[in-house]
Structure 1
Amino acid sequence: MIALMRYLAADVFRGQRFLAPLLVFLGVMGMLFSSDAGQPLEAYSGSAALLYPVTAWLAVVVATSEDAVRREITVVSAGGWPRVLTAAALVAVSASLVLALLAAVWPVVTNPHPYTAGEFFVGLGAHTVCALLGSGVGLMFSRPVFDSIGRTVLAVFAVVVLTYPLGRATPLGWVLDALGHNRISLSVLWAGVFGVALVSAAVAVGVRRT
C-alpha cells in the first residue's frame, strides 16, 4: 500500500494540477491574514471555511490524476480497485491534513492576537475536520463513481456551494458556528467522526461502482 501511495503521489506531483488548489489556498490565506483577522477562534473560522472547498478540489485532482487507460493498468498491477481507491483516499487525506496544519499555524505567526495552546489545538482539530469533509466530498464524486471529469466537477461544486447556506444543518456548519462564537463544542468532534465516515463511504461507493 505504501508503494502504491507513493506512486499515486508522484503521479499527482508530476501532473502539477495540484498547483491550482494550492495557489488558491495560499493566495486567500494571505489575504485573510494580511491584517488583524480578529480573535483566535473567529480568525480560524475563515480559514476553516476556505479549507473545505480547497480540499474537495484537491481530492478530485488526486482521484483523477491518471487517464482511464493508465488507471486500469494501475488497478490490475495493484490487485484491484479497492486497493487503488484506498491509496488515493489516503494520499488525498494526507495532502489535506498538511494544508489543515498550515492553516492552523498561519494565524499563530501572523495574527497580532496571542494564541493559547488550547486555542491552537481547537483550531487544528476544526481544520482537520474541514479537510476530511472536503476530501470526502471530492472522493465521493470522482472516478469510478463518475467517469467524466465534467460531471465530477459539477457534482462537487454543487455540494460545496449548497453546504454553506445550510448552516448548522451540516457538519461543516457545526464547526464554523463553534469557531465563530468562540466556543469549544462537541460539534467539532461529531463533525470529525462524520468526516472520517464520509471518506470511508466514498471509498466504499467507489468499490461498489466498479
Structure 2
Amino acid sequence: MISLVRYLAADVLRGQRYLAPLLVFLGVLGMLFSSDAGQPLEAYSGSAALLYPITAWTAVVVATSEDVVRREITVVSAGGWSRVLTAAALVAVIFALVMALVAAVWPVVTNPHPYTVGEFFAGLGAHAACALLGVGVGLLFARPVFDSIGRTVLAVFSVVVLTFPLGRVTPLGWVLDALGHNRMTPSVLWAGVVGAALVSAAVVVGARRA
C-alpha cells in the first residue's frame, strides 16, 4: 500500500494539476491574513471555510490524475479497485492535512493577536475537520462513481455551494459556528468524524461502482 500511495502521489505531483487549487488556496490565505483578522479562533473561520472547497477540488485532482487506460493498468497491478481507491483517499487526505497545517500556522505568524498552544491546536483540529469534509465530497463524486469529469465537477460544485447557505445544519456549519463565536465545541470533533466517514464511504461506493 505504501508503494501505491507513493506512486499515486508522485503521479499527481508530476501532472501539476494540483497547482491550480494550491495557488488559489495560498492567494486567498494571503488576502485573509494580510491585516488584523481578529481574535485567534475567530480568525480561523475564513481559512477553515476556504479549506472545504479547496480540498474537494484537490481530491478530484487526485482521483482523476490518471487517464482511463492508465488507471485500469494500475487497478490490475495493485490487485483491485479497493486498494487503488484507498491509496487515492490517503493521498488526498495527506495533501488536505498539509494544507490544514499551513492554514493553522499562517495567522500565528502574521496575526498581531498572540495564539496560545491550545488555540493553535483547536484551530488545527477545526481545519482538519473541514479538510476531511472536503476530501469526502470530492471523492464521492469522482471516478469511478462518475466517469465524466464534467459530471464530477458539477456535482462537487453543487454540493459545496449548497453547503454554505445551510449553516449549522451541516458539519461544516458546526465548525464555522464554533470558530465564529471564538470557542470550541464537541461538534467540531463530530464534524471530523463525519468527514472521515465520508472519505471511507467514498472508497466503498467507488469500489462497488467500479
* Superposition TM-score, scaled by structure 2 size: 0.99
1:49 matched residue in structure 2: 49
Structure 2 residue 206 is matched with structure 1 residue 206? yes
Q: Report the Cα distance in structure 1 between the residues aligned to 2:14 and 2:28, rounded to whole angstroms.
A: 24
Deviations 1:1-44 (A, max 9, x none): 00001110111011000000000000000000000001111100
Deviations 1:45-72 (A, max 9, x none): 0000000000000000000000000000
1:79 matched residue in structure 2: 79
Deviations 1:127-155 (A, max 9, x none): 00000000000000000000000000000
Structure 2 residue 49 is matched with structure 1 residue 66? no
Amino acid at match of 2:119: E
Q: Report the Cα distance in structure 2 between the residues aligned to 1:5 and 1:149, rounded to whole angstroms.
A: 22
Amino acid at match of 1:102: V
Structure 2 residue 23 is matched with structure 1 residue 5? no
2:195 matched residue in structure 1: 195
Q: Report the Cα distance in structure 1 between the residues aligned to 2:171 and 2:184, rounded to whole angstroms.
A: 15
1:30 matched residue in structure 2: 30
Amino acid at match of 2:207: V
Q: Report the Cα distance in structure 2 between the residues aligned to 1:189 and 1:135, rounded to whole angstroms.
A: 16
2:95 matched residue in structure 1: 95
1:159 matched residue in structure 2: 159
Structure 1: gaps of 5 or more residues: none
Structure 2: gaps of 5 or more residues: none
Instruction: Report 1:138-149 matches (<5 A).
Output: 138-149=138-149
Shift of 1:156: 0.2
1:170 matched residue in structure 2: 170
Q: Report the Cα distance in structure 2 between the residues aligned to 1:187 and 1:122, rounded to whole angstroms.
A: 12
Deviations 1:83-114 (A, max 9, x none): 00000000000000000000000000000000
Shift of 1:183: 1.1
Q: Report the Cα distance in structure 2 between the residues aligned to 1:59 and 1:53, rounded to whole angstroms.
A: 10
Amino acid at match of 2:73: I
Q: Report the Cα distance in structure 1 between the residues aligned to 2:205 and 2:12, rounded to whole angstroms.
A: 22
1:21 matched residue in structure 2: 21
1:150 matched residue in structure 2: 150
- The structure 1 segments of at least 4 consecutive aligned residues displaced by more than 2 Å after TM superposition are none
Equivalent position SS for 1:196: helix
Shift of 1:184: 1.2
